[in-house]
Amino acid sequence: MTAGRYLTLDDVDPGGLRVLVRSDLNVPLDAGAVDDDFRIVSALPTLERLVEAGAAVTVCSHLGRPEGVDPALSLGVVAERMDQISSLDVALERPADITVLENTRFNPGETLNSAEYAEELADGFDLFVQDAFGSVHRAHASTVGVAERVRSVAGPLLDKELKALGRFLSEPEVPYVVVLGGAKVSDKLAVIENLLPKVDAMLIGGGMCFTLLAAKGVEVGGSLLEEKMIERVRPLVEGSDREKIILPSDIVVATEFSADAAVEVVGAKQMEPGQIGLDIGPETSLLFAGVIRTAESVFWNGPMGVFEFASARSGTEAVARAMAETSAFSAVGGGDSAAALRELGLETHVSHLSTGGGASLELLEGRELPGVAVLERWLL
C-alpha cells in the first residue's frame, strides 16, 4: 500500500530524453544563504546520473512557503550551491547541464494542483523522475499533476527512502520504538494517534509532551501547549495503549523563553505557573536513551527541547547519541532532528537519515503518499 509500486530509473533508458526531475531542494536559509545543504547533497547524484546517461535535465522544487512570487525565496541561491558542489554546470532558468526551474510555489497552481500549472510543468518533457521524498505526501502540481501527464518513474533517492523506511511498516523488528519531539504539536498529535497502535513504546519529549501532560491534569506553566488538543489526546493517555506512552519525568524549566535565562530541573509534576519547559530533564534523558538502546527498530523525529539554546540541548543530544549507539535499525527524519544529529557529527552512525520530516511520519503512519501512488499508473 504505502511503499508503492512504481518503475525506477533502472527500468528506463533516459539517454536523449528531456527529463524533468522533482527534487526536494527545500533547504533552510539563513539571511538569504543556504544554511544546511543536506538535501542538496542528497539530490545531486540522481541529477548527475541522468546527465551522464545523456538526458537533458531540468529540476524543479519548492522552497519555503511563499504566497506568490517572493525574491527572498528564489531557488537562485540553491542553484549556485549546486553549481559549486557539482562538477557539472547548474543554473537557474537558463540552459545548463542541469537547469533549475524557479520555486514551484511562486505559482499558486502548485499547491492547488491546478491543471494549467501541471501542464506548464509537463510541457516538453519525455520523462518525469520523482525524487523528492520530502514532498510526496502533498498532492501538488509538481508531485501529482505532472506525474499524471508525463511517463514517470521513482528516482533513486525516493526509492532508497521508501525501502529504508518501509522496514517500519511490514513487521518491524520488535521492540519497535518511536521517539517524538519538536514543535508542530497539532500535526504530530495526529501522528501519535495513528502510530501508537503499531509501536511497542513511544517516547515523547519536545513541545508536544506538554499537551499530553496537561491531558493528565499536570500543571505545565507557560510551556508550549495546544489547549484545543487536550480533549483529543485524553483518550490516548487514558486508553488501552497508555502504557506505551513514555512521558518525561523531569523537565528543564526557565521563567523566560530565552537563550540566557537561568534554567533548573524540576519533576514533571512539579512545574509552577510561571515556568516554561525547555527540555527533558537528565533522568528522562537516561530513561529514553535506555529504551532506545534496547530497541530493535527505532525511529526518531523532533528535538527533545529547544536545542537552539545551549541550556536546553542535553535531551536532544542524549537521544542523538543513543540513536547512534543502538544496534537497532535506526532512522531519523525531520529537518531539525537531522540538523541536531549532523551538528554532533553522528549522521553516519544511524541506519538511515531521511531527507523527509512530515513525509516520513505519514509513511510510518501507514498513509498513502499521493506523489508515490500516482507513479503506479506508469507500471504497464
- Asked if residue 314 binds ligand ADP (CB under 6 A), the reply is no
Please count the other Cβ atoms lying within 10 Å of the Cβ belonging to residue 26. Answer: 22
Q: Residue 24: which of ligand ADP, Mg ion, none does it interact with, CB under 5 to 8 A by kind?
A: none
Instruction: Report the nearest approach of Mg ion to the CB of residue 173 (Å).
Output: 28
Instruction: Report the nearest approach of ligand ADP to the CB of residue 299 (Å).
Output: 12
Instruction: Report the nearest approach of ligand ADP to the CB of residue 337 (Å).
Output: 4
What distance in Å separates the CA atoms of residue 304 and residue 374, rounded to the nearest whole number? 35
Instruction: Report the nearest approach of ligand ADP to the CB of residue 214 (Å).
Output: 13
The CA-CA-CA angle for residues 360, 361, 363, to 5°, reads 65
Q: Give the helix ranges, DSSP H, for 53-92.
A: 76-85
206: Cβ–Cβ under 8 A, 6 or more apart, which residues? 180, 181, 182, 183, 302, 303, 304, 305
Is 66 or 335 the residue whose CB approaches Mg ion more closely?
335
Q: Residue 155: which of Mg ion, ligand ADP, none does it interact with, CB under 5 to 8 A by kind?
A: none
Beta bridge partners of 91: 99
- Asked if residue 337 binds ligand ADP (CB under 6 A), the reply is yes
- The interface with ligand ADP within residues 192-221 (CB under 6 A) comprises 206-207
Q: Residue 305: which of ligand ADP, Mg ion, none does it interact with, CB under 5 to 8 A by kind?
A: ligand ADP
User: In the set 127, 146, 306, 323, which binds ligand ADP (CB under 6 A)?
Assistant: 306
| 184 annotated active-site | yes
State which amino acid sits at residue 305: G
- Asked if residue 27 binds ligand ADP (CB under 6 A), the reply is no
Owner of C-alpha cell 520530502: 134
Cell of residue 371, nine digits: 506523489
Say if CB 366 and CB 194 are below 8 A apart.
Answer: yes
Q: Residue 248: which of Mg ion, ligand ADP, none does it interact with, CB under 5 to 8 A by kind?
A: none
What distance in Å separates the CA atoms of residue 168 and residue 255, rounded to the nearest whole number? 40
Half-sphere exposure at residue 256, Cβ-oriented, CA atoms within 13 angstroms: 5
- Asked if residue 333 binds Mg ion (CB under 5 A), the reply is no
The set of catalytic residues is 39, 184, 335, 358
Which parts of this chain interact with ligand ADP (CB under 6 A)? Answer: 181-184, 206-207, 224, 277-278, 301-303, 305-306, 308, 334-337, 357
